[in-house]
Structure 1
Amino acid sequence: MNHAPNQPESTFPEDTASDVQLNIVLSWTCDDPDPDDPIHYDVLLGTALDDLHTIVQTSDSRLEVTLNANTRYYWQILAHDSHEGEQISPVWSFTTLNRSPEISETVFPANNQENTNLDIYLSWECFDPDPADSLLYDIYFGTTAQPAVVRVDLTQTSYDPGLLMPNTKYYWKIHAKDSHDAIDVSPVFQFTTLNRSPNEASSPNPEHDAIRILLKTHLSWTGGDLDINDSVVYDIYFGKTQSELALLSSGQSMTEFYPENLQTNTSYYWQIISRDNHASETKGPIWKFKTIAPGFLSFESKQIDVFENQGSITIHVIRNNGNEGEIAVDFETIQDTAMPLIDYTPASGTLIFADGEQIKSFVVNIKDDYRFETNETLNLLLKNPTDQASLGFLNQAVLTIMNDPSDIKAGDIDGNNDVNLSDAILILKILSEFSVENPRQHADTNGDDRLDFYEVLYIFKLLMQ
């Protein structure tokens, strides 16, 4: 009589075991009351009670299998001998473990990277050995060595932190978790952002190629730095030729400069070099401007003549070597041998030249005393030019008041165009009778409106010379 095998018993994994590895050896025990009967086994395996199926037939009571992660398996052993005796085991179960995701250290930016751009995406690689698992990521990011969480449950392997601060060290790490809450935590990575160079100087004043610039102008420009926490200083180079610019100011923080001793009608070149507190420099373009040509102010002539009977004379002031801009100059008459209010009326004032105007005038009034006398002079003076104008070489002139040719010499009593003894005798003859009031002006030699003994003395004095 044949006896069926005994019921198989599980030895590994234990029934209802959990966290079972994915590569295991199923094992069981079974014997036969008939010692000489060989036993064969059908191994049934499935992921549901109603889905058990034979995966192998074997005479060994051990079977190596590869399983899926985080899966509940059901299995059973059907033992049968060579005489068709059979015995089936109960259905056992176990659950495989869930494998954690694995974050690679291949990240961007690379750990300890320097000069990182400010507009980057953080990116990383993560592998889950369980292909069916979905992954979520928590992002930790900041400027401290223990960065705070900034995003949770991100599904993609990249993150936009926004525009970063320049010249700053950042720290970040990733928490990866799968659909079964298995977690992997990356190390803390770090990188440093780049320092951006200062802005190139722009918006120059005076504008590039500007002309007619005043001598008391100031240079200004727009500078700064995109890195708002950076401080910026400026070096100013200046000169009359583009190839020979000299350093006028170094390391100044202001965006303006006042050049000194500019010359009229001259081209100047200038350049700004900007430097931040990280020693990064930016050279600006070379700009050019030309100063105004207001001109030189002079009298038309150094010697000016006028007859006293002309009544007045117009004095011309000439603007030479440039006529740009509105300028002004003061003028005045200065006493010399001619007496103010007797020989001329003093004159003073300001002449204003409009832009482009080259000549202005003023008038000196002359007084005629109808008396013969020697030439008399007064001085003319230009002073106080304004708005970059300069005085020319002829900024002083001499105005000569010449005697009226029709005047009779004082003392010429008889009217023969000469003063001699006959004039003295004539006066004595007149005085022998009486003194004469309101005489002819040419006979009143001392100007007291009388003809008396003083006129005789005057004539004798002339005769003795």
Structure 2
Amino acid sequence: MKRILVVFAKLFAFALLVSLASCIGTINKNPIELIAPKNGETNLSFNNLSFEFSVRTTGDYDLIIRDDKGDTVYKETISRVSGKVSHTVPAGKLRPGTSYRWYVRRAGTDSIASEMWRFKTRNNSAPVLSNPKPDKLYNEPFGALALTWDANDPDNDVLKFEVKVYRKGESTPVFNKVFNDPSGVVKDLEQLTEYEWTVVAIDPWGAKSNELRASFKTKENEPPQDIRLVEPEIRPGQRVRFNNLKLKWEGVDPDREDLLYTVTITGANQSRALLNFQKDTESAVDLKPSTNYVLEIEATDKYGKSLKKTFNFTTVDNSAPEKPTLKNPSNNEKINVKRFSSIDFQWDAVSDPDDDVVMYKIVIKRGNLNVEERNGLTTTTYSVSLPSEKFRAGERYTWYVEAYDKWGGVRRSDEYSFELYSNSPPSKPMSPNPSNGAKNLPNRIRFSWYATDEDGDKLLYDFYVGDSPSNLKLEASNLESPEYLRPVLFDYSKTYYWKVVVKDGDMSVEGDVWSFTITSEDKPPTVPELLGPPNGATGLKFNNLKLSWKASQDDKTARDKLEYIVVLGEADSMAVVGTVTGVSTDVIDFVISNLKPLTRYYWRVEVKDSFNNFAYSQTWTFTTKVNTSPKAPYNPSPADGSVLRPGAVQFAWQSRDEDEDTLTYELRIAKTPEALESATPIIRNTENYTAEINEEGTYYWRVTAKDPHGGQASSTWTFTIQKP
């Protein structure tokens, strides 16, 4: 038995060692493993070499390549990868015949990195050229001749090509240029001349290809063949613009020469030279409207041979500028001469269909008298001073603007009016409530004051409050009535300061700074504690929903004399939805209906004691449920398929709504099922209707029950009217 135990112990120890070795192997396994190129691999491509590695954890990794000096020649961060990763190093980053070391690390740190492997690129090979064109050809164009050849590079290097063109028998080239592609164009050769040309390819490492040689002979010069007018496109009966008219043409030459152009335009008894022996093939010109023009274009080649061609066209009639739109002063605006020292007339800039320069004329009238008139304006503003002999308080004025061009085109704006008046400021706010220096006030106050305006202007008010006269902050602006109920409760035993600024639309008057002190004797009720529905509850019904809270306590007000104010609504529209008084129970309930389905509501409870001190609960939220459509109407009368006598037909039905919504009904009656769709609906709030039907035949009737939230359901039945 003892021997068996010893053997068992040895076996257990061996198994434990194997297990630990396995765990250690797993723990020590490198999280980044290199795959290719293999360590020590040689004769690799130095252009577009692909690197592969594997990572165990998703993340960002740096691929780093260094030369034998330890300098980093390439670094690329590969983002959000895991598993096997492949990356190609672009051409030109590695050199031929060079030894490198490469590894991969977690982006930005060598603390998590792969092994470092070595590789060597193969030696560079020179490119090879072949198949030059043209070669041993005659009658080639000398103005522009395309040269092509085939190029091959074993290393896929990006090549450059040096091309030289010689007159036959000469050693100095007449053309020498480096191209990036295996083709090029040589220009401006001579007619009837024999040429030789060579091309050599050079790779980025300085290796040169074989030199290709070829020859050709140019043709005899011919005159230009044609001149085509590209712009404007001239069609029968079509006219062209006259401002900034773009003229564009092209010459056709059999020798592919760059031609020289002489361009003249004649019209309205006037001739203008636009170009004289220039290579340009376009020009812009300003002409006159409604005028016939002759455009003459002459193309001349380098040997003096030429072609002349004329084109006829007519310019369009002039169009007036767009209609100006007046901006300031606005129509029927009243302007206070005591507030403004000038009027800045403004209008929108307008465009001209013909791109003419637009100028403006402003006319200001009092009755039928022009009191101000100014033309030649190039801006869209004009100012007059107030008051003056021309512009007096108590007068009404009209004004308009004309936009015009140099050809006589005019467009006039609408006519606006304005009135000048002298406005007196409103009175200083007075009769404050609470009165200045009032003490022992409750913690919520409805402020009020009094102000007048002898001009009868509508007054607006800005309300300021703070804890010192020098620290008043704007709390409400543009109040339309002289009162303000502050939603935030004041602190007990503290003195506050307030003022009102009254505005009549033109002028404002700042009131005195008044003060008041909040009571230190009568404390507010305890804060109502909300009970239900739980804060954040969802899927609640939107009719007959019960809100509950714990009743408040107050030292000086009986429990049944406390007034609870329920405030409820969506985030930006909370409002008072009801009050509760005369309750002495520990828990108070309030039932609310007619909420919207699938809506998030906020609610709180405010409590007020007999001294008008307030306290309010936290604000909780709940979300109502999805609306459920009504049940399809049932229990019809007359019963489906009934046979009735002519006369009064008593319709009745029943329906119900799971959400307790108040339903409305749409009743349709027709002789066919198809006619039900177009039949005039009879809207009912009750589940009955009486109709007089005397014509014999089968009738179809449909009742659709609808809830306030868009839910609806329908039922269709039939009955027959049959005489006895």
How does the TM-score come out when normalised to structure 1? 0.30
**Which structure features the higher share of strand residues?**
2
Q: Give the number of the structure with larger relative contact order, counting CA–CA contacts within 8 Å between residues 6 or more apart.
A: 1
